[in-house]
Amino acid sequence: MVAWEYLIVALPAFVTPTRAPGASASVAALNGEGSKGWEAVGMTALPDGTVAVLLKRPKAD
């Protein structure tokens, strides 16, 4: 059985997407966490307009 660890991050304020991959602060933030082994598994908009993203990765032994 896989043991998981979880992380919740708040993304930067939304900016209209661009055509260039990784050009938005939100994409850069998610790519940064992804390079550390985190995978986004859910998200929710918060009342203040920000977005919280739930990430998970296998827990290290």
Task: Note whether residue 33 is domain-resident.
Answer: yes
- Our count of domains for the chain comes to 1
pLDDT greater than 80 at residue 37: yes
Task: Give the helix/strand (H/E) hosting 30.
Answer: helix 25-34
The reported pLDDT for the residue numbered 18 is 66
The reported pLDDT for the residue numbered 17 is 66
3-state secondary structure of 51: strand
Task: Note whether residue 19 is domain-resident.
Answer: no
Q: Which residue has the higher pLDDT, 8 or 49?
A: 8
Dist. CA 42–CA 34, nearest whole Å: 14
3-state secondary structure of 26: helix
Task: Note whether residue 18 is domain-resident.
Answer: no
pLDDT above 90 covers a percentage of the chain that reads 52
Dist. CA 56–CA 53, nearest whole Å: 10
Residue numbers of the domain that contains 39: 4-13+24-58
Average pLDDT in the chain? 88
Dist. CA 12–CA 24, nearest whole Å: 9
pLDDT greater than 60 at residue 22: no
Q: Is the dihedral of CA 28, 2, 52, 19 positive or negative?
A: positive
Q: Which residue has the higher pLDDT, 47 or 56?
A: 56
